[in-house]
Amino acid sequence: MTDLSPAAQAVFYAFNSKFDWIEDGVPGPQFNAIAAALRAAADQVVPETNSMFISPAELQQEKTRDQLLAIADELERQ
């Protein structure tokens, strides 16, 4: 496993803590499953906006969405 960001590590370890796998023992499909769940959560909780004019709250929501999707991208690269 390559080095993960602290955010991706937290998600990975939370998932991994529910199983008897060792730290580096999660096969690639599990990383992809975690990433898929994060993408679904982002779509449901922080839907993408298409407006050119967004409020500060919507800007924060987009930042949160981008962070979730970045973690998903990182996990998919494992």
The DSSP code sequence of 6-57 is HHHHHHHHHHHTTSS--TT---HHHHHHHHHHHHHHHHHHSPPP--SS--HH
Give the chain's domain count: 1
pTM recorded for the entire structure:
0.78
How far is residue 72's CA from residue 78's CA, in Å, rounded to a whole number? 10
Determine the structural domain holding residue 41 and report its residue range.
28-47+54-78
How far is residue 37's CA from residue 29's CA, in Å, rounded to a whole number? 12
CA 55 vs CA 33, 51, 58: distances in Å: 33, 10, 5
pLDDT digit string, tens, across residues 29-69: 888 889 999 999 999 988 887 778 888 988 899 899 999 99
